[in-house]
Structure 1
């Protein structure tokens, strides 16, 4: 059996990606494999042929961006409730490494090292992305459930 990480989108479509929080228009909301910033999430396109935001027709692009805003708002609400040192979320669409459209939602906290707190998370040591101590696991179940529950609420307009 192929590891779900080798094709995250296909695994999500098959219901085999364990990081999926919910299905949203044009996308899947997933919790990050690593949680050194608790609540880190990613919005994956639901179509692996979409490489860039500009590849989507305008209506689908607006749906993807609306889904991104919903995910970011859920992460913000839940992380603020879980940690009094929560500051904000950072949203990034980079396209530098993975060959499909996706967007990162990074919660940022007052307890982060001063020299990194106001800088892009990519300046953290590379080892943070592979540290088994902060890998997604049962310790994140409560926050994961909160974000999923928030995403399931009817949209407020």
Structure 2
């Protein structure tokens, strides 16, 4: 679900919401890597990513936010913004969200 069109792409709700507020920034127009962007585009992308984090912080009040930029094998630049909460299981708190394992159910994202 698209939240907003931003300067550098689309802010979307993450497909899996076991951590409420999880969002993704999809580069648009489609870009392969962060280093392919000129400095102004790169700045816009990273600022947009941080603005999404500001919104998540304001609405969901997590204990912290984790930001991850990926360039998957499908070659599509995307930033994942993960809120992290006090109520998470103790065995998950110190690790990356990918440690949640079976909770992830990926869907193909098309723009």
Q: TM-score of the superposition, structure 1-length normalised?
A: 0.64
Tell me the residue number matched to 2:35: 54
Cα distance in 2 for partners of 1:23, 1:95 equals 20
What is the number of residues matched between the two proteins?
Answer: 106
Larger-gyration structure (1/2): 1
2:49 counterpart residue number: 68
Q: Deviations over 1:56-83 (max 9, x none)?
A: 0111110111111110111111111xxx
Which of 15, 20, 42 is the equivalent residue of 1:38?
A: 20
Q: Aligned-residue CA RMSD in angstroms?
A: 1.4
Q: Which runs of 5+ in 2 are unaligned?
A: 107-111
Structure 1 match to 2:2: 20
Q: TM-score, normalised by structure 2?
A: 0.89
Work out the CA distance in 1 between the residues paired with 2:83 and 2:60. Answer: 7
Match of 1:120 among 92, 96, 105: 96
Q: Which has the higher helix share?
A: 1
State the alpha-carbon separation in 1 of the partners of residues 91 and 103 from structure 2.
16
Q: More strand per residue: 1 or 2?
A: 2
Instruction: Name segments (4+ residues, structure 1) moved above 6 Å.
Output: none
Work out the CA distance in 2 between the residues paired with 1:119 and 1:96: 21
Shift of 1:124: 1.1
